[in-house]
Amino acid sequence: MTIGIIFIISAAACYISNVLLIKHYLDKNAPGILDVDSALPKPNVGEEYLWEKTAGIGIVPRWVSFIGLLAIPLLIIGIIILIGVFVL
């Protein structure tokens, strides 16, 4: 059970650090884009926020995206472990 909780906490830490690092790199390499984006009206379904258009142009390093993607399997493994502990 402890290992499952550690996996879930690790997933949350990866996700939070990913969001904070994305914000940091956007502020550093594309200053003001988040301010402009917050001033614009919320996009409709199928449309993108302004900051999403920066994807793939090298503003945010790939390792930051990897940290965010790492949160998904950590969360799934943690949930599976917790379910296994309570069911078995």
Structure tokens at 26: 């956007």
How far, in Å, are 15, 31, 46, 50, 88 from residue 62 at the CA level?
Answer: 15, 19, 25, 20, 39
Q: Domain residue spans in the chain?
A: 2-87
Structure tokens at 18: 């990913």
pLDDT, tens digit, 9 for 90 and up, residues 36-79: 877 878 877 777 777 777 887 888 898 999 999 999 999 999 99
pTM: 0.80
Task: Using pLDDT thresholds of 50, 70 and 90, give the confidence band for residue 35.
Answer: confident
DSSP secondary structure, 20-73, as one string: HHHHHHHHHHSTTHHHHHHHSPPPPTT---GGGGGTTTTSS-HHHHHHHHHHHH
